[in-house]
Amino acid sequence: MQAVVLIGGMGSRLGDRVKDCPKPLLPVAGRPFVEHVLLNLRRFSFDDIVFLAGYRASVVQSLYGPESAFARQSGARIRVIVERAPLGTAGALAAAAQALAPRFLLLNGDSFFDINYLDLCRDVTLGDSSATGQIALRRVPDASRYGLIDLDGETVAAFREKPTTPMPGLINAGAYWLDRSIVSAITRWPSSLEQDVFPQLARQRLLIGRVYDGFFIDIGIPADLERADEVLSDQLRRPAVFFDRDGTLNVDAGYTHTIDAFRWLDGVPAMIKRLNDRGIFVFVVTNQAGVARGFYDESAVIELHRWMNEDLRRIGAHIDAFRYCPHHPNGIVPAYSRACDCRKPGSRMIEELLEQWTVRRERSLMVGDTPTDMAAGEAAGLATRLVSLGGTAAAIEEYLATFDDD
């Protein structure tokens, strides 16, 4: 999937801070601000990332261009398209038309909206036609820094100017799921998506507004830049649910390793999406002794896990990471026939995820259908929940209820 990131503005309200780099590359919480955005995109499996750069574009190329260390480590295809003169947000998008996928996520590089991107990226129709775009909206107590948006049901009815006095309202949060045909609505440049193109599409009733309540911050003014530096690290630490796989997420058919043999348990995909929508990490930690026993190889495990996420994306859901243990002390394949500390009840798979992801261990949970799952979770310092066949979704409902007062 493709994500396009607007990163070309100068950010003049930040003064000397942006003398040497674009606003989205200012340091926030230990790294350039836009890198938090990029890492979140990779979490949701966006693997084709296009920067639309302008001011100090050479800095963007150096840090995030296709030859950069970040690009190599991320595994994503990253391109930087540089505008030759200031074109505005709409003009920059039109100039990059040849690089756009048929449908793409567009993000403002100077804001962070902590939502389930895959929910925003579900295609919705308006009557007999598809919407040109979907805009992520946020209700804020004071919209005086932003323009307001009016909804008619889910359809964007109007864009309004900034209110002159503090008042609550819906604002554009800088995340959009767009059809490439939007470039045909960009007839001049410099021009602005927010001020020129989106209001025109709203008058044609071709935009959908999706309201989310996730953490939102932009760094357009000094006070918010300083606030982002103070709070973003804590916001990015999330609870996690660690799931066993066979018998917990899917029917245990005995060494399940093919797509044809895989069957989700009732309610599980919707349950995973609920966790995604609440900003909770979803991990799978699974013993796959069938590799050591010679029933299938590691590529079969990897392919099935890839397909699981592909299937979940249809409903706007995903699993953040999979870990599997291919070993067994009584296996017949020499490379895998050994005792190890990753096989549950060992906790190494869980510990690796805790080290690599920003997890709130104290609010996290291990869910499985066997005592070995419980032992692994307990060894990693997690709360645990033993479920019987078909009980996973109900267990997660109870877990989510513990967050209702947060």
Catalytic residues: 244, 246
Instruction: Count other C-beta atoms under 10 Å from residue 391's C-beta.
Output: 16
DSSP 289-317: HHHHTTSS-HHHHHHHHHHHHHHHHTTT-
Please give the Cα distance from 172 to 139 (Å, whole number).
9
DSSP β-ladder status, 77-82 and 240-243: unpaired
- Give yes or no for a contact between 168 and 149, defined as CB atoms under 8 angstroms apart: no
Give CA separation, 406 vs 32, 363, 365, in Å: 29, 12, 17
Phi–psi pair at 384, nearest 5 degrees: -130, 155
How many residues appear in the chain? 406
DSSP 164-178: SS---EEEEEEEEEE
3 state SS of 9: coil
Sign of CA dihedral 89, 94, 100, 104: positive
Which of 134, 66, 79 has its CA nearest to residue 106? 134
Please give the Cα distance from 316 to 134 (Å, whole number).
14
Residue 255 neighbours by CB under 8 Å, 6+ apart = 289, 290, 293, 295, 296
- Give yes or no for a contact between 131 and 208, defined as CB atoms under 8 angstroms apart: yes
- Which strand (E) or helix (H) includes residue 130? strand 129-130
- Give yes or no for a contact between 140 and 171, defined as CB atoms under 8 angstroms apart: yes
Provide the 8-state DSSP code for 134: E
- Give yes or no for a contact between 13 and 43, defined as CB atoms under 8 angstroms apart: no
